[in-house]
């Protein structure tokens, strides 16, 4: 139940782009430097975020990444699912293969927990995080 570095770094990258990438492309090298994340590793992560449609990109000098959707639309759930696939606490919630269904009550229980988690993740939008960030920076000024 630990978040992977991919999810943590990926979220930071998206928050960075959301905060500093208005009307411009943000390069991996910039994010890597400012957020202190290995360039090459971040590359892998950006690829995931792009191929699941959260980011778009522009190649070549002056190029970089930009958000594919509005910051009011993108949620933590989107980010996590893009990077690690949909979250199912137990496999039987997605695939079928349990032969103990008669006796099994835990499926419903885990499903319940899963839903609570999912709902929470969906409720946290990139916009909220960026706002929070601005308030925080201000309070230090």
Partner DNA sequence: TAATATCCTACTAAACTAATAGGAATTATA
Partner DNA sequence: TATAATTCCTATTAGTTTAGTAGGATATTA
The residues binding a second copy (CB under 8 A) are 1-3, 8, 11-12, 15, 36, 76, 80, 84, 87-91, 100, 102-103, 105-106, 108-110, 112-113, 116-117, 120-121, 124, 129, 132-133, 136-137, 140
Residue 128, C-beta contacts closer than 8 angstroms, at least 6 positions apart = none
- Would you count residue 54 as binding DNA (CB under 7 A)? no
Contacting residue, 64, 71, 75, 77, with DNA by CB under 7 A: 64
How far is it, in rounded angstroms, from Cα 54 to Cα 57? 10
Residue range at the interface with DNA (CB under 7 A); choices 14-22, 42-50, 74-82, 96-104: 42-50
- Would you count residue 4 as binding DNA (CB under 7 A)? yes
Buried b / exposed e across 13-22, counting CB within 10 Å, b at 16+? bbbbbbbebe
105's tokens: 């009550």
How far does the chain reach from its first CA to its final CA, in angstroms? 36
How far is it, in rounded angstroms, from Cα 116 to Cα 127? 21
Q: Which residues bind DNA (CB under 7 A)?
A: 4-6, 9, 26-30, 38, 40-41, 43-44, 46-47, 50, 57-65, 84
């Amino acid at each position: 139940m630990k978040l992977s570095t991919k999810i943590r770094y990926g979220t930071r990258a998206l928050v960075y782009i959301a905060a500093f990438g208005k009307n411009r492309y943000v390069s991996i090298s910039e994010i890597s430097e400012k957020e202190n994340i290995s360039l090459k590793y971040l590359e892998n992560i950006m690829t995931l975020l792009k191929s699941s449609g959260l980011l778009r990109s522009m190649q070549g000098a002056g190029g970089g990444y930009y958000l594919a959707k509005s910051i009011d639309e993108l949620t933590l759930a989107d980010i996590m699912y893009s990077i690690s696939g949909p979250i199912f606490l137990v496999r039987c919630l997605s695939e079928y293969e349990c032969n103990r269904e008669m006796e099994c009550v835990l499926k419903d229980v885990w499903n319940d927990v899963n839903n609570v988690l999912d709902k929470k993740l969906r409720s946290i939008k990139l916009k909220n995080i960026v706002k929070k960030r601005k308030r925080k920076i201000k309070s230090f000024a």
